[in-house]
Amino acid sequence: MNFRNWVRFYFHTLLIGIGIGVVTGFAVRWNDYKHLFYNLEFSEIGMTTLWFIGIGAIFATLSQMGYFAYLTVHRFGLGFFRSLWNPVQVVVIAFVLFDLVYLRYNAFANEGESIWAYVLIALFLFLIGTVIAYLKAKQSNNRKTFIPALFFMVCATILEWVPVLRTNAQDWFYLMLIPLLVCNAYQLLSLPKYLEQSKKERMELKKRKEQEAVAK
């Protein structure tokens, strides 16, 4: 990817993260902020919106850092494990989801609390990851991309989500998760478009240089 398209890729991800962050922020904390809308307190609404814009921007940037880190890990995995890389990813996905349930339940569950609330979070993340991975495999017309895409959507999202998972702050729980999921899905599905555009621009630049050389 050339620099211009990388910048476009980053800012499009950033704008999506900001938009989702604002919407999710007001939705998750509606009970705290609904009086601002009822009383038409525009200055307070504006300040709160700016706060959620900043939060969304941070999450979008974290998502993109995670995505490029994943691409590095993926290349390393292909080189080291070769044909075993997909089975290894399946094992890691299962292990990470198990830990998401087991460790959080042991750390935060009250006495007598059911484990199912913790299982549902992991199941939700897995189902979203499965849908995005299916779309990725369909987009690339290659079934082998399903497992890497699922690995990214599950494992990378949980890794990016760790700061909130450690504190178990319920408001931040969804405020961080939703923008991360949306930004991760967008990057996974849109990267080929930017790569293709970069390739096209390089070819056009090469052709233009060749024409200029002939003209001289």
Tens digit of each residue's pLDDT (9 = 90 or more) over 52-94: 999 999 999 999 999 999 999 999 999 999 889 999 999 999 9
Nearby residues of 112 by Cβ (< 8 Å), 6 or more positions away: none
Q: How many CB atoms lie within 10 A of CB 154?
A: 26
CA 97 to chain centre: 17
What residue type is assigned to position 159 of the chain? L
Domain assignment of residue 70, given as a range: 3-215
Give Cα separations from 75 to 44, 68, 78, 79 (angstroms). 47, 11, 5, 6
Q: How far is residue 49's CA from residue 118's CA, in Å, rounded to a whole number?
A: 30
CA 148 to chain centre: 14
* Prediction pTM value: 0.90
Span 152-186, pLDDT tens digits: 999 999 999 988 888 777 778 889 999 999 999 99
Q: How far is residue 67's CA from residue 61's CA, in Å, rounded to a whole number?
A: 10
Number of structural domains in the chain:
1
